[in-house]
Amino acid sequence: MNNFWHDVLNIAMPFAYVLTVVVTIGLAILVRFILIKINNRIIRNIVDGVDKKTRKAERTGKPVALSPRAKQRARTMGSVLNNSVTWVVVAITLIVVLQELGVSVVAIAASAGIATAVIGFGAQNVIKDILNGLFLVFEDQFGVGDEVDLGLATGTVEEVGVRVTKVRDKAGVLWFVRNGEIVRVGNLSQVKKKK
């Protein structure tokens, strides 16, 4: 009887790795889903708070202290945070899965130092896109829903990602503009009205 269980465990051992990897990926998907739900709820609360304060200010006749772009900025930040959450969860999951499969993550990290220098030269555009995307959001040059002229595309901003901004033009074409390629922004939603 003892040999029977030993044989069963030997047969099931390869499936234990597969099961562990599947459970790890499933947990990562669940964690990403929960974090994005929390982020979306926070952004929705910010937008609702702006709406409530604006309505209250309009009812009382007081000047609105909040910028009308606060909602757009909150939505844009939410989009960037959702992208960041996804990439962090993917990176952590990949490390955990590789460790479970017996791959030495420390050896990968050590060799990554050399590879980073090599990749750094090739990834200059990606890094430029990410940094420029962060500055676009933090400087509030445009947000989701703004009518913009980026030189490369003109239309309504649908999504601002870490690397790419999606702009839909009047013909309905969705343009994917790399953030590093945006050298000028004409925000038609912020045109000052003449008095």
Give DSSP secondary structure letters for 79-94. Answer: HHHHHHHHHHHHHHHH
Look-up of token digits 């790399």: 178
**H-only helix segments in 101-141:** 105-122, 124-138
Mean pLDDT of the chain, nearest integer? 81
Domain boundaries, the chain: 1-105, 123-195
Kindly report, residue by residue over 67-92, the tens digit of the pLDDT.
Answer: 666 777 777 778 878 888 888 899 88
Domain 123-195 class, CATH top level: mainly beta
Contact 68, 135 (CB under 8 A): no
d(CA 170, CA 186): 16
Helix (H, G, I), strand (E, B) or coil at 61: coil
Reply yes or no on whether the pLDDT at 65 is more than 70. Answer: no
Distances (CA, A) of 138 to 37, 51, 53, 55, 143: 22, 22, 23, 26, 10
Q: Give the rounded percent of residues in the chain with a pLDDT score beyond 90.
A: 18
CA 153 from centre of chain? 22
Q: pLDDT tens for residues 172-183?
A: 999 999 988 888
